[in-house]
Structure 1
Amino acid sequence: MLSINYKSRTFTDQPYNKITQAIGTAITGIAMASTAFSIQADDSIENIDALEVITISHQRHGLEEHSAIAKGSTSVPDLANWLASVPGANINRNGPVTGIAQYRGLFGDRVATTIDGHPIIGAGPNAMDTPLSYSTPLIVDALTVYRGVAPVSAALDTLGGAVQVNMRKAEISQQQQLDITGDLQLGFRSNNEAETGAGVINLGRGELGAMLFANVQQADDMETGDGKDISPTEFQKRQFGGDFRFDNGEENIGLTYHYLDTQDSGTPALPMDIEYIFSHRVSLDGGFSLANWQLNWQLGYLDADHKMTNFLLRQNNNPMRHRRNHAESETIDVKFSAEQTFSFGDLTLGIDGYFAEHDSFITNPNNVMFFVNNFNQVEDNRYGIFAELVTKLANSEVSYGLRLKRAEADAGNVSTSMAAMPMPAMLLNRFNSADRSVSETDIDLAINSETRLTENLSLSAGVGMKTRAPSYQERYLWLPMEATAGLADGRTYIGNINLNSEQAYQLDLGVNYLDQQLSISPHIFYQRIDDYIQGTPLPMSEMAARMVAQMMAGDANPLQFANVDAELYGLDVNWQYKLSEHWQISGIASYVRGERRDIDDELYRIAPFNGQMTVSYQGNDFTTNLTLVAVASQNKVSKTNLEQASSGYGLVNLDAQYFVSTSLTIKAGIDNLLDKDYRSHLSGYNRVQGSDIPAGQRVPGEGVSAWLEARYSF
C-alpha cells in the first residue's frame, strides 16, 4: 500500500547575480543566524535533517503496517500519479503512459528523475517513454521528492528538483535454509476496462538473494464524465526482470535486469501514438569499506527502441501524410561515491555521468521515397564531480553541496528526401555546414539548513545556484517539427546549436510544526532563471524555416528555442491533523506563478492553484479515505505558446482497504465519484481528428471509474 512520509528539510536561495562567493557567504550567514536566534529545546537535535524529502513508499502489506494510509489505486501504468500526493508537484499528461513530472512549475529535463540512482534517458524525442514510465508500482519500494533546493548529490541536473525511484531489491535472508516470499496482484478499472496482473517472487539463502518480477497491463480508451470517448487512450504494457544480490555484511554487489515492452498506446496530445517501445536496462552496483570510507559504485546500460505513428491508432485519411518515426537510444551511466564521518560532519565525495546517443528517422510507409533524418548520431554526454558536507551547528543541521559538471554534445550530418526543394535544402545545408560540437562547463551550489526553535517547531532555509545545459532537441532540431520532449503545445520548433546553459538562483523558506495531533509544513519559494530556454517567434528573416513549417505542418508562426529570462515563485503546504485514535484529516495545497522577465508574458504549462483534502479512517483491519480535489482556473497563460486558459473543477475520490488476513488485502475505490466532466490545464490539446473530442481542445480527464485490486503475499 502507499505510505506518504513527510520528513523536514528545506533550503534557501539567492536570486542575485553576484554568485559563487556571495551565495556561499550568504548561506553560511543564514545558517549561523538561524542558530543564533534558536531557542533551546529539551529534545536532542539528532533528528533534525537539513534536507526535506517527501517519500511515498509502496509497502508490502501486513497487519503491522496498518498505520500507513493507502490512497488510490496502485494498478496504474506508470508512477506519475504518485506525485499528486506531493506539495508543489504535478503531472503533465500527454497520454495514459506518458506522465511527465512537474515540480513548482518546471518539468521535463529540468526535473531530474532517476531509478535507483540511474538517469533514465528515453528514446523518444517527444518524451513518450518518460522516466516514470520505466517502472511500475508493485516493484517500487519508494518514490522520493526533494522539497525545495535539491542536493547536488541527487543527480547531475537538479535545476527543477529531483525525483528518485527506488526499486525493490532481492532480499538476503542470512539463513541456511531457502526462504521464499512474494506478492501477487490483480487489478481492474471500470472506465477503460483496464486489467493488471503482477507478481514478485524472492528467493534468499545465506548471503545470496534473487528477485524475479512480471507485470502486464492493458486498457481500452477512457471515457469522459459526459460519456465521450477519449481516443486513443488505450495502452498495452509489459515489464519483466530480476535482481540478484550478494551481501556478506562487509561488501555487497547486485545485478539488475529490466525489460519494458509497450505497444499500441495512445498519446492524443502529441502528433503521433506509440507503436512500440522496447527497452533493456541492465545495472551493476556494489559497496564496500576501505580505510574508514564507505565506497559505493554503480554502472548502468539502457538500450531503447521506439516506433511511433500518426495512422495506426488515430484517423488519418491522407496516405501521403502518414508518418512513422523510428527512434533509438543507448545510454551508459556511471557513479562512484565515498562517504566518511569526521568530527566536523559527514562528508560525501562523488563522480558521476552518462553518455547517450540518439537517432530518429521518419518515413512514410505509403511512399518509400520519403524520409527525414530527424536526429542522426546525436551525442549527449554529461559528467561531473561533487562534494557534500552535512554538519551540526548548535540547534541546526546544515548541508553544503558543490558540483562541477560538464556537458558535451555533437550531431552527425542529416538528410531528407526533400533536399531537392530549395527551402528544406537551405536548412539542411546550413545545419550540415555548422559546427555542431559544443560543450558547457557549469557549477551547481546548494546549501540547506534546518533549525530547531522549540520541541515542536523548526525553520528550514535553502539557497542554491543550479544550471542545466540544453537538451539535444533544443540544440539539434534542424527542421521545423514538434519533437520537443513532450511540450505538446501544437507548435513547430527549430533548434539552436548556440544556446547557453540555464542558470537559476533559488530560495526556499519553510516552517515545520509537529506534535502528537498536528503536523504542518508551509513553504515559500522563489527562483530566478537567467538564459531560460523557451520557444520564441522566428525572425521574419528566417523565411526558409517559416515556409517549411507552413508546408509540412500548416504552422504560420513557428518557434525557435532561445535564451530568455524568467522567474517562478509561490508557496505550498502539507498538513495532517489527528482527530482521534482512528480518524485523521490531511491535505496539501500548491500555488506557483511563472513569468518571463524579458517581456510581459507567462511561462507555458504552469499548474494552477490546486489542493486536496483527505478524511481517513484507520481500523485494525480496515482503512478508508475520502479525498476532495480542488483545482482553480488558470488564465495566466503563455501568449508566445498560444496557450489556452482553463476552467477550475472539483473531484471526489473514495477508496477503502480491507486486510482479510496477514496475506490477503482487498482494495476498492471510485475515482471521480460525481462523474465530473473536466479538463486539466496540464493535459495538453487533442491532436486527433475525427474523435469525440474536437481537435484543438484540451484532452478531458477520466469520468467516473470504479476499481478493484487484490493482493496476496506469501
Structure 2
Amino acid sequence: MKWQYNVAYLLLFNTTLVYAETIIKPLSIEVIDNKEAPFSDASLDLESFNAIKNISVDTGDLLSEFLGVNAIKNGGFSSLPTIQGLSGDRISIRIDGMSLISSCANHMNPPLSYTSPVNINNIDVLAGLSSVSQGGDNIGGVIYIESNKLMFGKDEKPVTKGRIQSFFQSNNDSTGINLNLTAVDKDTAFKYFGSFIEANNSYAGGSFKDSGVAASGRGYLAGDEIGSSRFKNQNHQLTLAKKEGQHYYEAMFAYQDSPYQSFPNQRMDSVGNTNYQLNIRHQAEYNWGNISSQIYYEDTNHKHNFADDKQFTYINMMAQTSYGMPMEANGQTFGILAEGEIFMDDQKTLKIGAEIQLYGLDDKWESNPSDQGMMSGNDFYNINDGERDRYDIYAQLDTLWSDRWLSSIGLRYGLVQTGSSDVQGYNPNNNMGSNQLDDSVAFNNRDRSKTDNNINFSMLGKYTPNKLSSLEFGYTMKAKSPNLYQRYTWSTWTMAANMNNLYGDGNGYVGNIDLRPETVHKIGLLIDHAGSEGRWMIKIKPYYSYIDDYIDVESLATRSDGYRNLQFNNHDATIAGIDIAAKRNMFESWGYGKYNLSAKFNYQRGRNIDNSTDLYNLMPANLTMAFNQELGTWKNSFVVTMVDKKTHTDSVRQERETAAFTIADLYSSYRFYDLEIVGSVENIFNRTYDNPNGGEYLGQGATMSTGIMRASSSQVPGMGRSLNLALTYSF
C-alpha cells in the first residue's frame, strides 16, 4: 500500500497536478459548470472525446472512468457500476429519464445494457452526496444518461444528416456497425439510431487454466480463452421531437434484441433478451419556473440456459437425462414523473415532484423437455406475479444566500409495496433432499405483502470564496427497499439457489420475506481548487457512510463443491473512502500541440459491523494516470492504471484475494473533414491479471448444481492485449 499513500500525498499537496471534475482515462474533458445545487456534479460533453466512446461497446467502460466509480464486469455489454462502494440497484440509473429495473436472477439485463456509448450525449454521475430531487429509491448515488440530442433547424428548410461507424476489436474479434440518421426543421426533429455488434470469446494475457474441452459435448478452449464471454446484440431507437413556443415534446421508441450473451461469472447464460421501451416527455419553461412530465413503459423478455461452453446434457444416478435448464423472466415497468421548479425570488428556488413506478415480474423455469429427472413434472415458479410498486413525492429548497454561499435542503417520502403469489417446485415432493415441497408450502403459508415507508433527507451546502476554489459539504439520509429477488426467491435446494445469483460469486442465494429497507446516513466533503488561468486543478472527496439494515448474507451451508448456500439478511455496515483527481497543463507549442497530465485515485473500505467482515466486491486502492496530447484534430493519450492487491474480502461469500497489477493503454483519434479514425491498444504489454471485481470463473464445465469445485476454480481474469479500430463518416 506504500505507493498508494505516496501518490495520494502528491495529489493532495503537489500543486503541479490538476483536477478535472470526472476523468475519462484517455481524454480531455469539457466540464459544464453547474451551480444549481451543491454536489450536483458537472456534466460531460461526450462529443469532445470520441476515442473511448467510439471504440467501446459497454457503457460501463465510460462510467468506470468517473471519479468514485468502478465497473463490475458482467457480460460483454452489461457492466454494473459501483459508486463509492455501493453497486447494483442500490444505484439509481436513469436513461432518458426512465428508471429501469433488471428482470433477471443474475443481473444479465441491467439498465446500462440498453444503452450504446456512441448514442450517448451526456452523462451525470452523482458520486458524492445527492439531493432528494435527483432521485429516490437508492443509497449509492445517481447516474443520468441522455441520448444524443435532437437539434432543431434555424428555419423551415428541412435538414438531413447522418453518421455511420464501423469498428473492430482484435482480442475477441468484435465487429459492429452504428448508424445515426436525423431530419429536422425549425420546430420538428426525427432521429433513428441503430447498432449491431457480435463478438467471440475474449482472451486473457496468458493461460489461467488448463486447455481442453470446455465441457462434455462442447468445443475446445485454449488455456488463455475466457469461456462464456461471447455475445451478440442489436439496438434500435426512433425519436420524434416537437417544439412549440416554450414547450418541448418528445416521443421515443426503442427495441433491443440480444440472441445470446454469455457470462464467465455465472452458471448460466442469456440465450435471448428482447426489450421494448416507450418514452414520452414534455418540458416547458416559464418566467416563474420550469415544469416537466414523463410517462414510460418497458417490457422485457429474458431467457436463460447453458450456452456453448457449459455442459448442456446431464444424466443422474438413476440414468435419467436432463437437456439444459430453460428459464424465462418477464418484467414490465410503468412509470410517471412530474417535476417543477418555482423561482420564488432571485435567491430561492423550490423544487417539487412526484413519481410513480409500477413493476411486475414473472420468473418461471419450464419443465425439462426430456420429461425425466429432478427438473421435470411441473414448471418451477421462482417468482410468481411479483410486484414492486413505488410512490414518491419530494420538496426541496435551494437558496443562494450570497455570491459565496449556497444551500439545499429537501425531504422525500417513498411508499414501496411488494408482493408475490403462490409458488411451486418442479415436483410436489422433497426428493433427493431438494425440499421443494417443504420450502414452497412454507413460502405459500406466509403473508408476502410488504409495505415500506422510506424517508429521504438531504442537507447540502457550498461555499465559494473565489472563482478558483469551492468547498461543499453535507449530510444525506437515503432509503432503498429490497428487490424482488432478495425478498421472494424461496428454494433452499442447491440447484435452484445457484440460479439466483446477482453477484457472480458462484454461491447459491435464498430470499428473505422479512428483509427491511436499507437506510444510509452519509456525510461528505468536496474540496475543489484550481490554479490561476486554469493551469492546474485538484479535487478531493472524502466520505463516510453508516448503513442501517444493509442487505448482506448469512451462510446456510457449505457444500461439497466448496461453495455456500446463503440467505439474505439485514446487518449494519459502514463504508469510508476518498476520491482524488488532478490535472496539470504542461505546455503548449504551435508545432507540437497541447500537453497535459491527469490522474484519479480511489480508495474505499467497507465493513459488516454485525459479522465483523469486509463487504463484497469493493475495488482495492487504484490510480489511473494519463499523458494527453492534442494537435488540431489529432488527439493521443497514454494511460497507466495501477491497482493494489485485494486483501479485504468478504469471508462469508469466500471472496478471493487478487494480486496487484499495472496495465497500460494507448488511444489516438484523428479527424479529416467528415472522416474520423479512432484507434487504441489496450493492455499494451498483454499483462495477465485477475479482475478484482470480475467474480468467480464459471465460464465452462458442468455448472449446474455442484459440478464445479471451488478449489480448482479461480477469479475471472482481465482481458489481454487488444488492437481496436473505429471509422466514422458523417454526412
Normalised by the length of structure 2, the TM-score is: 0.86
> 5 Å matches for 1:148-547?
148-226=128-206, 228-289=224-285, 292-318=288-314, 319-320=321-322, 322-343=324-345, 344-363=347-366, 364-367=368-371, 369=377, 371-394=379-402, 395-421=404-430, 423-480=435-492, 481-484=497-500, 486-515=502-531, 516-538=534-556
Offset at residue 297 of structure 1 (A): 0.3
Separation in structure 1 between the aligned mates of residue 206 and residue 200 of structure 2, nearest angstrom: 17
CA deviation string 1:564-591 (max 9, x = no partner): 0100001001111100120000011100
CA deviation string 1:228-248 (max 9, x = no partner): 111111110000121001102
Q: Does structure 2 conserve the Cα–Cα contact (< 8 Å) formed by 1:408 and 1:439?
A: yes
Question: Match of 2:43?
Answer: 55
Q: Does structure 1 conserve the Cα–Cα contact (< 8 Å) formed by 2:69 and 2:127?
A: no
CA deviation string 1:296-350 (max 9, x = no partner): 1000000000101125442344253721211110000110011121224111110
Q: Does structure 2 conserve the Cα–Cα contact (< 8 Å) formed by 1:473 and 1:485?
A: no
Relative distance call for 1:130 and 1:193 in structure 2 (3 A) is: same
Segments of 5+ residues of structure 1 without an aligned counterpart are 10-46, 60-67, 539-545
> 5 Å matches for 1:659-674?
659-661=671-673, 663-674=674-685
Separation in structure 1 between the aligned mates of residue 451 and residue 37 of structure 2, nearest angstrom: 36
Q: Does structure 2 conserve the Cα–Cα contact (< 8 Å) formed by 1:4 and 1:54?
A: no
Question: Match of 1:15?
Answer: none
1:579 matched to 2:586? The reply is yes
* More deviation, 235-244/137-146: 137-146
1:565 matched to 2:572? The reply is yes
Relative distance call for 1:438 and 1:483 in structure 2 (3 A) is: farther
Separation in structure 1 between the aligned mates of residue 60 and residue 442 of structure 2, nearest angstrom: 40
Relative distance call for 1:623 and 1:689 in structure 2 (3 A) is: closer
Separation in structure 2 between the aligned mates of residue 5 and residue 159 of structure 1, nearest angstrom: 28
Question: Match of 2:219?
Answer: none
Relative distance call for 1:370 and 1:74 in structure 2 (3 A) is: farther
Separation in structure 2 between the aligned mates of residue 181 and residue 688 of structure 1, nearest angstrom: 43
Separation in structure 1 between the aligned mates of residue 656 and residue 458 of structure 2, nearest angstrom: 36
Separation in structure 1 between the aligned mates of residue 634 and residue 287 of structure 2, nearest angstrom: 50
Question: Match of 1:598?
Answer: 610
| Count of aligned pairs | 656
CA deviation string 1:146-167 (max 9, x = no partner): 1311221222223100111111
Separation in structure 2 between the aligned mates of residue 583 and residue 596 of structure 1, nearest angstrom: 44
Offset at residue 411 of structure 1 (A): 0.3
Q: Does structure 1 conserve the Cα–Cα contact (< 8 Å) formed by 2:226 and 2:699?
A: no
In structure 1, give the amino acid aligned to 2:29.
I
- The secondary structure found in structure 2 opposite 1:682 is coil
Aligned mate of 2:84, from 84, 104, 113: 104
1:707 matched to 2:727? The reply is no
Separation in structure 2 between the aligned mates of residue 578 and residue 3 of structure 1, nearest angstrom: 11
- The secondary structure found in structure 2 opposite 1:270 is coil
Relative distance call for 1:197 and 1:570 in structure 2 (3 A) is: same
Offset at residue 386 of structure 1 (A): 0.9
Separation in structure 2 between the aligned mates of residue 202 and residue 340 of structure 1, nearest angstrom: 34
- The secondary structure found in structure 1 opposite 2:507 is coil
- The secondary structure found in structure 1 opposite 2:539 is strand
Separation in structure 2 between the aligned mates of residue 117 and residue 234 of structure 1, nearest angstrom: 30
- Structure 1 vs Structure 2 CA RMSD: 2.1
CA deviation string 1:480-536 (max 9, x = no partner): 314556211211121111111111110111210123210110110000001111111
CA deviation string 1:68-102 (max 9, x = no partner): 44553533332011122112101111321220110
1:658 matched to 2:683? The reply is no
Offset at residue 49 of structure 1 (A): 5.0
Question: Match of 2:14?
Answer: none
Question: Match of 1:75?
Answer: 55
Offset at residue 175 of structure 1 (A): 1.6
Offset at residue 687 of structure 1 (A): 1.2
Q: Does structure 2 conserve the Cα–Cα contact (< 8 Å) formed by 1:655 and 1:669?
A: yes
Normalised by the length of structure 1, the TM-score is: 0.88
In structure 1, give the amino acid aligned to 2:413.
L
In structure 2, give the amino acid aligned to 1:108.
G
In structure 2, give the amino acid aligned to 1:331.
T
Separation in structure 2 between the aligned mates of residue 615 and residue 2 of structure 1, nearest angstrom: 9
Separation in structure 1 between the aligned mates of residue 52 and residue 290 of structure 2, nearest angstrom: 39
Q: Does structure 2 conserve the Cα–Cα contact (< 8 Å) formed by 1:78 and 1:134?
A: no
Q: Does structure 2 conserve the Cα–Cα contact (< 8 Å) formed by 1:77 and 1:237?
A: no
Separation in structure 2 between the aligned mates of residue 275 and residue 556 of structure 1, nearest angstrom: 25
Separation in structure 2 between the aligned mates of residue 69 and residue 312 of structure 1, nearest angstrom: 37
Relative distance call for 1:483 and 1:384 in structure 2 (3 A) is: farther
Separation in structure 1 between the aligned mates of residue 595 and residue 120 of structure 2, nearest angstrom: 28
- The secondary structure found in structure 1 opposite 2:58 is coil
CA deviation string 1:151-205 (max 9, x = no partner): 2122222310011111123332142111112211111111111012001111012
In structure 1, give the amino acid aligned to 2:511.
G
Q: Does structure 2 conserve the Cα–Cα contact (< 8 Å) formed by 1:214 and 1:241?
A: yes
Percentage identity across paired residues of the two chains: 23
Separation in structure 1 between the aligned mates of residue 98 and residue 618 of structure 2, nearest angstrom: 27
- The secondary structure found in structure 1 opposite 2:29 is strand
Separation in structure 1 between the aligned mates of residue 607 and residue 42 of structure 2, nearest angstrom: 27
Offset at residue 706 of structure 1 (A): 0.4
Offset at residue 657 of structure 1 (A): 0.7
Question: Match of 1:4?
Answer: 29
Offset at residue 5 of structure 1 (A): 4.5
Question: Match of 1:43?
Answer: none
* More deviation, 82-91/388-397: 388-397
Q: Does structure 2 conserve the Cα–Cα contact (< 8 Å) formed by 1:314 and 1:688?
A: yes
Separation in structure 2 between the aligned mates of residue 287 and residue 510 of structure 1, nearest angstrom: 32
Separation in structure 2 between the aligned mates of residue 689 and residue 177 of structure 1, nearest angstrom: 58
Separation in structure 1 between the aligned mates of residue 512 and residue 30 of structure 2, nearest angstrom: 42
> 5 Å matches for 1:609-628?
609-628=621-640
CA deviation string 1:245-273 (max 9, x = no partner): 11023212111011011122110101111
Separation in structure 1 between the aligned mates of residue 131 and residue 239 of structure 2, nearest angstrom: 28
Q: Does structure 2 conserve the Cα–Cα contact (< 8 Å) formed by 1:73 and 1:707?
A: no
Offset at residue 554 of structure 1 (A): 5.8
Relative distance call for 1:144 and 1:5 in structure 2 (3 A) is: farther
- The secondary structure found in structure 1 opposite 2:719 is coil
Q: Does structure 2 conserve the Cα–Cα contact (< 8 Å) formed by 1:225 and 1:677?
A: yes
Q: Does structure 1 conserve the Cα–Cα contact (< 8 Å) formed by 2:246 and 2:286?
A: no
Separation in structure 2 between the aligned mates of residue 648 and residue 89 of structure 1, nearest angstrom: 19
Aligned mate of 2:692, from 681, 688, 691: 681
